[in-house]
Amino acid sequence: MLRPENKRPVFFNPVLIQMPVGALTSIVHRVTGILLAAGIPFTIYILDLSLQSDQSWSRVVHLLDAWPFKAIAIVFIWALAHHLLAGVRHLLGDVDVGSGLISARRSAWMVNLGGLAVGLLAAGALL
């Protein structure tokens, strides 16, 4: 049966709804989680390839020397750093550390900037 409210429109457009820094951090936390999970098969493949023989090890080194792979590595290092920091922020929040609004805003900024800083360091080291 059609519920009466089904005939009624709903305003719901996340792009038009303001996202405070905590919400943005949460979205990035999810995106980095998906990226990291999606990268696992590739990482295992590269690890397996590197362990097969001296030649395959050289192939992996050569492969990772190409700039597209370096760019991917930088993105993954940023994703790992952001995801790790955001996870620690959640764990601390669960035990009542930094879960007030002001400190939560501050820690969300720290997670975002910390992730970016690690990504930039990785870029500096790899490029």
Partner 1 sequence: MRFSIFRFDPERDKKPYMQDFEIELEAADRMLLDVILRLKARDDSLTIRKSCREGVCGSDAININGRNGLACITNVRELKEPVVLRPLPTFPVIRDLVVDITRFFEQYHSIKPYLINDEPAPERERLQSPEDREKLNGLYECILCACCTSQCPSSWWNPEKFVGPAGLLQADRFIADSRDRATRERLDDLNDVYRLFRCRSIMNCTEVCPKGLAPSRAIERIRLALVKDSL
Would you count residue 103 as binding partner 1 (CB under 8 A)?
no
Residue labelled with tokens 């993105």: 75
| By CB under 8 A, residue 2 contacts partner 1 | no
Binding test (CB under 8 A) with partner 1, winner from 2, 5, 37, 124: 5
Candidates 1, 18, 124, 127; binder of partner 1 (CB under 8 A) is: 18
Stretch that binds partner 1, among 41-49, 58-66, 67-75, 96-104 (CB under 8 A): 96-104
Residues contacting residue 39 through CB under 8 Å, at least 6 positions apart: 76, 79
Mark residues 19-58: x for contact with partner 1 by CB under 8 A, - for none.
Answer: xx-xx--x--------------------------------
Buried b (16+ CB within 10 A) or exposed e, 92-127: eeeeeebeeeeebeebbeebbebbeebbeebbeeee
- Does residue number 90 form part of the binding site for partner 1 (CB under 8 A)? yes
Find the helix or strand (DSSP H, E) in which 15 lies.
none
> For residue 40, how many other CB atoms are within 10 A of its CB?
9
d(CA 78, CA 63): 20
Q: Which of 33, 72, 93, 123: binder of partner 1 (CB under 8 A)?
A: 93
**Contacts with partner 1, residue ranges (CB under 8 A):** 5-14, 16-20, 22-23, 26, 90, 93-96, 99-101, 104
